[in-house]
Amino acid sequence: MVQIMPLNDHWIFTKTNNPTYVFESIQDGQSVTLPHSWNDTDGQGGSEKYFRGQCWYQRILDISHEDLTKRIYLEIGAAGNMGHVYVNGNMAGESRCGYAMFRVPLTPYLKEGGNLITIMVDNGYDSTVFPLMADFTFYGGLYREMSLLVMDEVHFDLMDNGRDGVYLTQRKISPETFELDVHGQIVNESSVLKEGSLQIQVRDEAGKTVLEASSELALGNEAKFSIKSEVANPILWDGVDQPYLYTVEVSVLSEGQVCDSRIIAIGFRTVEATTEQGLLLNGKPVKINGVCRHQDFAGVGNAITKTHMDEDMALIREIGANSLRLAHYQHDDYFYSLCDRYGLLVWAEIPFISIPSTKDPENHNAEEQLEKLIKQAYNHCSIYCWGIQNEITIAVETEQTYKTIRKLEVLAKHLDPNRLTVQANINGVENNSIINSFTDLIGYNLYYGWYYGEIKDLQDRLDEFHRAQPKIPIIVSEYGVDTNPKYHSYTPQVQDYTEEYQLLFHQNALETFDKRTFVLGGYVWNMFDFGSANRNEGGETGKNLKGLVTIDRKIKKDAFYLYKAYWSKNPFVHLAGRRFVNRHQEHNDIVILSNLHHLKVYLNQTLITEINSREPMKIVKDVSLIAGENCVIVEGTDEYGVIHTEEIVLHHAAEIDRNYIHVKPEKEKNVVNWFEKFDLSNAETIELRDGYFSTFDTIEDLYSNEEAKAVFLKYFEHVTNNPFFEVTKDVISIEKMAQLTFYNIPPELIPVINKELNAIQK
Ligand code: GCB
């Protein structure tokens, strides 16, 4: 029978990159317990650069004489981003999928007594391993749990890239009945053919057996199995309202003994996507009230524990979200289990993000990561779609990229014909682009009113998309604004990083989605601030600040309560602006976020108004404050007559409090106006000649000619140290750079550059 033993403690870790550790003890190491990441601080702004490279972990594993009669595997939750496993000096296994679990068979290399296990983990740049470039920290480390699996000779196939070695497929076959197909493969590691059987037992939440089935098996080296049964009238897994789970116990028996078994949760449900009614869960329309989540946390990087994950789930449930985009890679299996348990519909995805491989045109690693994601997360009923790319056309859009996206879609359907496929496009992808025909669903990451355009442009873009693609269901796969809760304003504006701007932005998005059935819903970017080591913005280093909650999960920004007011059924009241204490204006709007409809508002113990409104955001206009302290209290009464109250103190001061204003560092200001030194006054479009350089060539091509390189550097020397530029220069052109707000290239500059480049022969 299988034994699973945690192997998280007694590891020695070092950043000294010394290949002799494959067979020699680490001398200069420190003792660590998994999960562990070496970027716990520098990956979140703790220093200017974060450490990327090869580090080493080592441990002694004691093996008894009896253990040697078993089959022993190492199960590594993840190695970020690549890992090599050595046992007593022998290479035993590797991973190039930094977000997936992997297993290594140890038995061939083990001896009785102490065994040296060494794992080299590498988070350096590899042009064939995704992600190559993204707006988040590529934390290095053995950042998930590790276990030792001690197996009988006969066991489920642990090495098929899957998690359980057993797959549960459910399909509705009549109005009352689901088909349950339990399938997979058993491996017999002895050289003897054995007789055996497979048994399944399905139990409801009360533990009552609702189905039993079995089949006889001849256990050769490998034996495939599939037991199809019918489950009549199951209680449905119906999202957050009723996440009902059955359990399936699957056992393999040989010679009267259970050799291996799994207990897997399953929820019976159907999911369809339509443009007429939106997403249908069990035939009923459900608007996607979603948030995105990255997996890291302040102070630990991505080396999070179950306690961190429980805390995240509690906050996600508190706002009343019904769906999650678990971006931009495979998350811990435990987190998908939490989603099963609490009924959240999940968009799961791989890090085929930003740019395709610069060295492997086939992008094999994306396929590898997709296969692992699908096989390892297959049994989670919460997952409704597989995401196969995110903004992959940011720097270059070619036939080759299309080919890969199509290939990934075919692979997803092959591995799992019963789930939907989806992509998250950058806004620049044309509504009628061929990309939009590649997957069942289309997502767009839309940052109108932050990186470009105005808040209200969101509506128009979605309507235009629908006119162009009336048959394609669309999801707003990301939208959000960086917000530092210490900044405040009476007149919130784009890029001011205030809590007030975040409220405006999200209020508009919520109204926009609610009014449009063809929009399946949206995913806030992001539920939590997250580590993005190369960022330095909005008064913080190393973090993306678009969260509704700060990276330490300590501050719920006002926008958190806006969502709660829209989505949650748990009665509450919240007064926005509690951190905007010092008010230099006498007249102030009091903003209340609440899902209650009858409210009373008091200022300095005097009732100033009663509100009867179903709006989630209620505003009491022009409340005049007295000099000094003012106490504002809101009281809301729920349907049971229970009173919910909140209080804030506002200080009316004569002077504006400058701490509330984000002042951009001088350096940034210069970067913003970098083009002013060039004369753009008489820029005219020129007819481009073939055989000469132009803004359509990649930077790599420009660099191949000294003259063309000099022209490029004349205009863009200031970006060449940027990590984003570094990674994209092989594939990006000046034309494409001009589409990215990041480079801030005025359109008039393009013909000016072309005049110079097009004079240089190739
Ligand atoms: C995006 C990316 C995401 C970034 C986000 C942002 O479109 O998909 O990874 O973090 O924008 O905040 O810029």
- In this predicted model, what pLDDT tens digit does every residue of 161-186 receive, in sequence order? 999 999 999 999 999 999 999 999 99
Q: Which pLDDT value is given to residue 39?
A: 98
Sheet with 257-266: list strands edge to edge: 209-219, 194-203, 246-254, 257-266
What the block records as the tokens of 723 is 């990590």
Q: From the alpha carbon of 480, which atom of ligand 1 is closest? A: 12
297-311, 615-629, 683-697: least confident range: 683-697
pLDDT attached to residue 728: 87
Q: Distance from the CA of 138 to the center of ligand 1, in angstroms? A: 14
Q: How confident is the model at residue 676 (pLDDT cuts 50, 70, 90)?
A: confident
Residue nearest to atom 4 of ligand 1 (CA): 135
Burial zone of 247 (CB within 10 Å; 0-12 exposed, 13-18 middle, 19+ buried): middle
In 7-153, DSSP assigns E strands to 11-14, 30-32, 54-63, 71-76, 82-87, 90-95, 102-105, 113-122, 146-151
Question: Quick one: pLDDT band at residue 669, thresholds 50, 70, 90?
Answer: low
pLDDT of 664: 84
Beta strands, E only, 431-560 = 441-445, 474-479, 519-524, 530-537, 540-544
pLDDT per residue as tens digits for the range 592-628:
999 999 999 999 999 999 999 999 999 999 999 999 9
What residues have CB less than 8 Å from 699, skipping those under 6 apart? 712, 728, 729, 730, 732, 733, 734
Atom of ligand 1 nearest to the CA of 546: 12
Q: Cα separation of 657 and 127, whole Å?
A: 48
Cα of 198 vs centre of ligand 1, distance in Å, is 47
DSSP-derived pairing of the beta strands 598-603 and 628-637: antiparallel
d(CA 483, CA 502): 7
Structure tokens at 555: 């501050």
Mutational pocket test of ligand 1: of 391, 426, 527, the residue with most ligand atoms within 8 Å of the beta carbon: 391
Q: From atom 1 of ligand 1, which residue's Cα is the shortest distance away?
A: 445
Please enumerate in sequence order all residues whose Cβ is within 8 A of that of 463, keeping only pairs 6 or more positions apart, or say none: 516
In this prediction, residue 721 carries a pLDDT of: 84
**Residues 136, 544 contacting (CB under 8 angstroms):** yes
> Which residue's alpha carbon is nearest to atom 13 within ligand 1?
135
Determine contact, residues 419/384, Cβ cutoff 8 Å.
yes
Going from the Cα of 121 to the center of ligand 1, the distance in angstroms, rounded, reads: 26
Residue 671 pLDDT class (50, 70, 90 cuts):
low
Q: Can you identify the CATH homologous superfamily of domain 166-266?
A: Immunoglobulins (2.60.40.10)
Distance in angstroms (rounded) separating the CA atoms of residues 713 and 5: 57
Alpha-carbon torsion (604, 609, 615, 621), positive or negative: negative
Length of the chain, please?
A: 762
- 478 Cα: distance to centroid of ligand 1 (angstroms): 8
The pLDDT-based confidence of 77 (bands split at 50, 70, 90) is very high
Ligand 1 nearest-atom number relative to CA 451 = 13
Residue 241 pLDDT > 70? yes
Structure tokens at 43: 């990956």
Return the residue whose CA atom lies nearest to atom 3 of ligand 1. Answer: 135
Contact 513, 563 (CB under 8 A): no
Domain locations in the chain as residue ranges: 3-151, 166-266, 274-521+529-538+548-554, 582-660, 669-757
DSSP state of 494: T
Q: Alpha-carbon distance 162 to 444, whole Å? A: 30
pLDDT of residue 574 exceeding 80: yes
Check: CB of residue 733 under 8 Å from CB of residue 699.
Answer: yes
Can you read off the two tokens belonging to residue 236? 């449905």
Distance, CA 135 to ligand 1 centroid (Å)?
6
Indicate the average pLDDT of the chain: 95
Angle between helices 749-757 and 706-716 (to 10 degrees): 160
Residues pairing with 71 in the sheet: 151
Report the nearest atom of ligand 1 relative to the CA of 478.
Answer: 7
Residue to mutate, 478, 528, 543, 741, ligand 1, most ligand atoms under 8 Å from C-beta: 478
Which amino acid type is present at position 284?
Answer: K
Residue with CA closest to ligand 1 atom 9: 135
Q: What's the 328 CA to ligand 1 centre distance in angstroms?
A: 10
| Model pLDDT, residue 739 | 84
Residue 681's pLDDT is what?
Answer: 78
CATH topology classification for 3-151: Jelly Rolls (2.60.120)
Question: In what helix (H) or strand (E) does residue 260 lie, and over which residues does it extend?
Answer: strand 257-266
The minimum-distance atom of ligand 1 relative to the CA of 532 is: 10
CA of 480 to the centre of ligand 1 (A): 9
What are phi and psi for residue 601, nearest 5 degrees? -120, 130
| 482 CA closest ligand 1 atom index | 12
Give the pLDDT band of residue 670 (cuts 50, 70, 90): low
Ligand 1 pocket, mutate which of 138, 426, 445 (most atoms under 8 A from CB): 445
**Å from CA of 446 to ligand 1 middle:** 10
Looking at the predicted structure, is the pLDDT value of residue 536 above 80? yes
HEC assignment per residue over 139-208: CCECCCCEEEEEECCEEECCCCCCCCCEEEEEEECCCCEEEEEEEEEEEECCCCCEEEEEEEEEECCCCC
pLDDT at 667 (0 to 100): 64
Q: Which of 130, 135, 452 to mutate to test the pocket of ligand 1 (most atoms within 8 A of CB)?
A: 135
Name residues whose C-beta falls within 8 Å of residue 58's C-beta, 6 or more positions apart in sequence. Answer: 11, 12, 13, 21, 25, 26, 29, 116, 117, 118, 119
Structure confidence by residue, pLDDT tens digits, 250-287: 999 999 999 999 999 999 999 999 999 999 999 999 99
- What whole-number distance in Å separates Cα of residue 431 and Cα of residue 94? 41
What contacts 515, CB < 8 A, 6 or more positions away? none
Q: What share of the chain is helix, strand, coil (3-state, %, to 5)?
A: 20, 35, 40
Pairing outcome for strands 441-445 and 420-426: parallel
Please tell me the predicted confidence (pLDDT) of residue 301: 98
Q: What is the DSSP letter of 688?
A: P
Ligand 1, from 475, 543, 544, 724: best to mutate by most atoms within 8 Å of Cβ? 544
Could you give the C-alpha distances from 173 to 244, 268, 270, in angstroms and in order? 19, 12, 11
Atom 7 of ligand 1 has which residue's CA nearest to it? 445
In sequence order, what are the residues at sequence separation of 6 or more whose Cβ sits closer than 8 angstroms to the Cβ of residue 113? 62, 63
Q: What are phi and psi of 538, to 5 degrees?
A: 60, 30
Residue 721: strand, helix, or coil: coil
Asked whether the beta carbons of 323 and 523 are under 8 A apart, the reply is yes
CA 541 to ligand 1 centroid distance, Å: 16
CA distance 178 to 172: 4
pLDDT surpassing 70 at residue 530: yes
SS3 558: helix
The answer on pLDDT for 740 being more than 90 is no
Q: What 3 state SS string does 527-543 have?
A: CECEEEEEEEECCEEEE
160 in Cβ contact with 122 (< 8 Å) = no
Residue 695 CA to ligand 1 center (angstroms) comes to 26
**pTM of the entire structure?**
0.96
Q: How confident is the model at residue 668 (pLDDT cuts 50, 70, 90)?
A: low
Strand order in the sheet with 598-603: 582-583, 643-652, 628-637, 598-603, 606-612
3-151 and 274-521+529-538+548-554: same fold? no
Interval 461-498: pLDDT, tens: 999 999 999 999 999 999 999 999 999 999 999 999 99
- 221-245 mean pLDDT: 97
The percentage of residues in the chain with a pLDDT greater than 70, rounded to a whole number, is 99
Distance 427 CA to ligand 1 centre (A): 11
What residues are in contact with ligand 1 under a 6 Å CB criterion? Answer: 134-135, 328, 390-391, 445, 478, 525, 544, 546
Q: Residue 339 in contact with residue 333, Cβ under 8 Å?
A: no
Cα–Cα separations (whole angstroms), residue 634 to 65, 569, 647: 70, 19, 6
> What is the rounded end-to-end Cα distance, in angstroms, of the chain?
68
Taking the centre of ligand 1 as the mean of its atom positions, its distance from the CA of residue 390, in whole angstroms, is: 9
pLDDT band at 680 (very low <50, low <70, confident <90, very high): confident
Which superfamily, per CATH, for 274-521+529-538+548-554?
Answer: Glycosidases (3.20.20.80)
Q: Identify the residue whose tokens are 């590649």.
A: 438
| Across 187-205, average pLDDT | 96
- Closest ligand 1 atom number to CA of residue 530: 10
Q: Which one-letter amino acid corresponds to residue 189? A: E
- Picking from 519, 440, 521, 450, the residue whose alpha carbon sits closest to that of residue 480 is 450
pLDDT over 80 at 332, yes or no: yes
Atom 6, ligand 1: which residue's CA is nearest?
135
Query: 216 CA to middle of ligand 1, Å?
Result: 52
d(C-alpha 685, C-alpha 97), whole Å: 46
* Arithmetic mean of pLDDT, 437-456: 97
DSSP codes joined into one string, 269-311: --EEEETTTEEEETTEEE-EEEEEE-S-BTTTBT---HHHHHH
- Is residue 224's pLDDT more than 80? yes
Q: How remote is the CA of residue 54 from the centroid of ligand 1, in Å?
A: 27
Q: Which CATH architecture has domain 582-660?
A: Sandwich (2.60)
Cis before 651 (ω within 30): no
